[in-house]
Structure 1
Amino acid sequence: MRYELLGPLRVSHDGRGYSLSAPKMEMTLATLLVGAGRVTTKEQIIEELWGSGPPRRASAAVHVYLSQLRKFLTAAGDDSGRAVTTKPSGYLLRLDGAGYDVDDFRAAMREGRLLQQSGRYEAALDAFGRALSLVRGTVLDGTPEGPLLTRFTTWVEEERLACLELSVEASTALGRHREVISLLNTLTAQYPLRESFYRQLMLVLYRSERQAEALQVYRSAQRVLRSELGLEPCRSLRRLHQAILTSDRLLDLPVAS
């Protein structure tokens, strides 16, 4: 049995997929998955489903959703019928050996960071690629409005962008500058306030003997940040700009001894 929450919610077993058609049940399962292995209170579920204006019989509705959810999980492969258990303070979803894409994503990111720190960039790229492949889109198709699922959705997006940054760093360390220029052009357009992507794009352009374009990227970043935030580029971006202007040899890719 496997749960997938890094995109539209999916449950699968023996190659067969199962989905919930009722949005409230889907959000209930997502809320329990975010807190997998910990007790999720009934109040948390109610807040996720209805915000600050729950219906008068919200507690009864949650009880019905949990009952239906247990039946759904049993049909989807929970042979024990105990994937979701009731506790005095709320409800507990146990993975008990079930696959979970969020755990797999965290593990791949952790592995990639350790490999990168030890200079094993090729293996790190493979780990980051596995992590990125698990993110299929926005959580629950972008419908969450409650605080817990909203925070989780924000975390997923931030970790996905961090994974992209780390992948580019690994490719850059391997000298694959031209391979990431197109990706970074797309990322700076999609995330114009994320200065790290400008920095990476400037560096790979410079190392690809495109110094003028690297300087143009800085001017674009400066213009956007001034217009949107009233701020100058961060210190590291300004330092990189100055280093490119002077063709600082420290920007050259280190040669392995």
Structure 2
Amino acid sequence: MAAVWGDHPPRTALASLHNLFARLRSLLGPESRRLQRNRGSYSLRLCPGELDAEVFSTHLVCAQDILRARDWETVEKESAAALSLWRGRPVAEFPSLHGAPEVAHLVEHHLQAVEMRFEAHLRTDRHREVTADIAHYAATHPLREPFHRQLITALHQGERTADAITAYPQPAPFPGRRTRHRPRPGHPASLPQGARPGFTSRRPGQLARTGSSADSLTPAECHPPRRCSRGFGARPRDSVPDPP
């Protein structure tokens, strides 16, 4: 009763529960004997293959086994058969059960089946059939990396390279921490202001202060000679004796 009414059920909760089971028994008709009552609780007897969750798990395990053999046509068939039994989030009408381990287990298995179906379509060059669905799942589950990888692959296969680059997830900064992106060495943004790639300025902003352009500089001005430091054991040129 806690799953239906929470921690504070009404006084008529037990009577309402008995009435609901009586209606269920009448709806079952000849199969009503499957609904049994034992010591104040009810149970429904099921035959093998009659529980959707059980059949779903069977198709999922089969798809996972075939995945190792790279039989993508069969993987797509089994994963689609498993997803055909899915009717949305389990026990969605009972919010108190959403955090139950059994529900989280089913949701994880559902996402695995979706990933295998998408992968089978991408491996068989049928990306156009699932690109929109992959984009939906990537937006709904931003922390699930396989969906982002599959979205980039589907866009690239559809010759949408620019969209594939845009879909590449950007790393989020740590909360409460300011990040500073430093350009890699050799990138134009890392050079002094006014300098162009291929020319080295002796002092930051030298070109801007003198008003000269990089094209008017001589090679010696662009690349001044390096001086050896005596701290590393170098000696002046005149102190080196001439060879005999």
> Fold-level match, TM-score > 0.5?
yes
TM-score band, normalised by the shorter chain? Answer: 0.5 to 0.7
TM-score (normalised: structure 2): 0.59
Q: Distance in 1 between matches of 2:176 and 2:73?
A: 39
Residue 129 in 1 paired to residue 80 in 2? yes
Question: 1:165: Cα distance to partner?
Answer: 0.7
Q: Report the counterpart of residue 123 of structure 2 in structure 1.
A: 173
Letter in 2 for 1:222: Q
Residues 230 and 211 of structure 1, relative CA distance in 2, 3 Å threshold: farther
Farther-moved stretch of structure 1 (56-65 vs 149-158): 149-158
Asked whether the 8 Å contact 1:105–1:134 carries over to 2, the reply is: yes
- Give the equivalent residue in structure 2 for 1:205: 155
Q: 2:167 aligns with which of 206, 210, 217?
A: 217
Alignment-derived partner of residue 63 in structure 1: 18
- Show the counterpart of 1:239: none
In our comparison, the structure showing a higher alpha carbon Rg is: 2
Indicate yes or no: 2:118 matched with 1:163.
Answer: no
Q: Which residue of 2 aligns with 1:190?
A: 140
- Quote the sequence identity (%): 29
Counterparts of residues 12-31 of structure 1 (less than 5 Å): none
Match of 1:103 among 48, 51, 54: 54
Q: Which residue does 2:65 correspond to in 1? A: 114
Distance 2:161 2:76 in 1: 26
2:130 is paired with a residue whose SS is helix
Q: Return closer, same or farther for 1:66/1:216 CA change in 2, 3 Å cut-off.
A: same
Cα RMSD after superposing both structures? 3.3
Bigger proportion of residues as helix: 1
Distance of aligned partners of 1:226 and 1:197 in 2 relative to their CA distance in 1, 3 Å threshold: farther
Pair 209,48 (structure 1): closer, same or farther in 2 beyond 3 Å: same
Q: Name the residue aligned to 1:90.
A: 41
> Would the aligned equivalents of 2:49 and 2:55 in 1 still touch at CA under 8 Å?
no
Shift of 1:62: 2.5
Q: 2:6 aligns with which of 51, 69, 72?
A: 51
Distance 1:73 1:155 in 2: 29
Is 2:60–2:78's contact at 8 Å kept on the other side of the alignment?
A: yes
The amino acid that maps onto 1:115 is I
Compared CA separation, residues 152 and 71, structure 1 to 2 (3 A): farther
2:39 equivalent to 1:73: no
Paired with 1:94 and 1:184, the residues of 2 have a C-alpha distance of 38
CA distance in 2, matches of 1:230, 1:164: 35
Q: Tell me which protein shows more strand as a share of its residues.
A: 1
Q: 2: distance between equivalents of 1:144 and 1:230? A: 37
Q: CA–CA distance in 1 between the matches of 2:159 and 2:49?
A: 50
Call closer, same or farther: CA 1:102–1:230 in 2, change over 3 Å: farther
Provide closer, same or farther for how the CA distance between residues 162 and 97 of structure 1 changes in structure 2, counting only shifts above 3 A: closer
Paired positions, count: 177
Cα 1:128–1:82 shift into 2, 3 Å: same
Deviation at 1:183, TM superposition (A): 2.6
Q: Which moved more, 1:125-134 or 1:100-109?
A: 100-109
Work out the CA distance in 2 between the residues paired with 1:194 and 1:50: 34
The answer to whether the 8 A contact 1:108-1:128 is kept is: yes
Q: Unpaired runs of 5+ in structure 2?
A: 178-244
Residue 52 (structure 1) shift = 0.5
Which segments of 5 or more consecutive residues in structure 1 lack a partner in the other structure?
A: 1-45, 232-257
How far apart in 2 are the matches of 1:149 and 1:86? 28
Structure 1 Cα separation of the partners of residues 143 and 176 of structure 2: 12
Distance 1:112 1:52, change over 3 A: same
How far apart in 2 are the matches of 1:111 and 1:61?
42
Provide the residue aligned with 1:240 in structure 2.
Answer: none
Q: Shift in Å at residue 132 of structure 1?
A: 1.7
CA contact (8 A) 1:48 1:149 kept: no
TM-score (norm 1): 0.56
Name whichever of 161-170 and 51-60 sits farther off.
51-60
Shift of 1:112: 1.5
Which one-letter code corresponds to 2:21 in the other structure? L
